[in-house]
Structure 1
Amino acid sequence: MYYVDRKQIEDRLGFVPYIVEASERLCQTWDASDPLHVFAQERILHLAIEVITDVGSLLIDGFLMRDASSYEDIIQVLIVEKVFSADLEVPLIELVKLRKPLVQEYMHLDRLTLQAMTTRLSSLLRIWEASVLLFMKQEL
């Protein structure tokens, strides 16, 4: 084990409840024709991706796991290292694959796909966060 930056991990995990609340509130009032809702949804998903990949990278660095070569690889390394269960692999990879379209191809996004992910986001983040905290408790 190397140096695990617990402060950075905790800071990022502390942001998860805000993302969860925002996604739940947005889903309750969703209006695909409202640009504010569309942009809020994109930002919520983008922040969720950044939190997951930032924490994943910090865990990989801190616990000397093999280097990840992509966002999808971060998820796969953490599955292999048993940070979270394999049932999270598919939804997490689906989520992180949205990063490029959100950041680079925003003019041509499939908003229905984004809405489907947004409706699952809060439960996915809660399970992911609990898994990360359990892993850190066991390893530290």
Structure 2
Amino acid sequence: MYYVNVQDIRLRLDAIPDLAEALDKLSADWNGSTLQGLAQERLLHLAIETVTDVGSCLIDGYIMRDASSYSDIIEIIGGEQVLDAELAERLKALTALRRPLVQEYYSWPRGERHPYTPELAGWLRRFSEQVEAYLKKEQ
């Protein structure tokens, strides 16, 4: 019997609509200002933390193999068919941004819109839908 903390997962998934809305607006109104650059950094970071936190909850709850890194979290839940292969690959690439965002923030190109920014809202929405479908299937 598995103990999956669905409440913790849903708390994190409930943050996705706000993140997606902010990403859509930021992308549509992009002008390269410092404020927008900082907002973009935070949104990218929150997206990474959201998907990896949910992934960790799933891994722990369903006793999947232990993850060794942020990208490994996505690889595991992709391999367990929580996510489709295309989305798993995109989110795995997203997690590679964590280190530069968190540890090398001083050299992040704030004036440039990151290529993931216009697409990320859709990725997050798909992530939420696929996690919910997996939870429903497994309960």
> Scaled by the length of structure 2, what TM-score is found?
0.95
8 Å contact from structure 1 (residues 24, 122) kept in 2: yes
Letter in 2 for 1:23: L
**5+ residue gaps in structure 2?**
none
After superposition, where does 1:24-35 map in structure 2 within 5 Å?
Answer: 24-32=24-32, 34-35=33-34
Matched residue SS, 1:115: coil
Q: Which residue of 2 aligns with 1:17?
A: 17
Q: Which runs of 5+ in 1 are unaligned?
A: none
Cα 1:131–1:124 change in 2 (3 A) is same
Q: Spell out the pairing of 1:1-140 with structure 2 (5 A cutoff).
A: 1-32=1-32, 34-111=33-110, 115-140=114-139
Contact kept? 1:24, 1:119, Cα under 8 Å: yes
AA partner of residue 61 (structure 2): G
TM-score, scaled to structure 1: 0.94
Moved more, 102-111 or 82-91: 102-111
Alignment partners' CA distance in 2, 1:16 and 1:48: 8
Identity across aligned pairs (percent)?
46
1:88: how far off? 1.2
SS in 2 for 1:120: helix
Summarize the Cα distance change of 1:134–1:13 in structure 2 as closer, same or farther, 3 Å threshold: same
Q: Which runs of 4+ in 1 moved over 3 A?
A: 110-114
The answer to whether the 8 A contact 1:42-1:114 is kept is no
> CA–CA distance in 2 between the matches of 1:67 and 1:79?
14
Question: 1:73-117 CA distances to partner (integer Å, 9 max, x unpaired)?
Answer: 001101110001111122111111111100000111245876211
User: Counterparts of 2:113 and 2:59 in 1: how far apart (Å)?
Assistant: 28
Larger fraction in helix: 1
Structure 1 residue identity aligned to 2:13: L
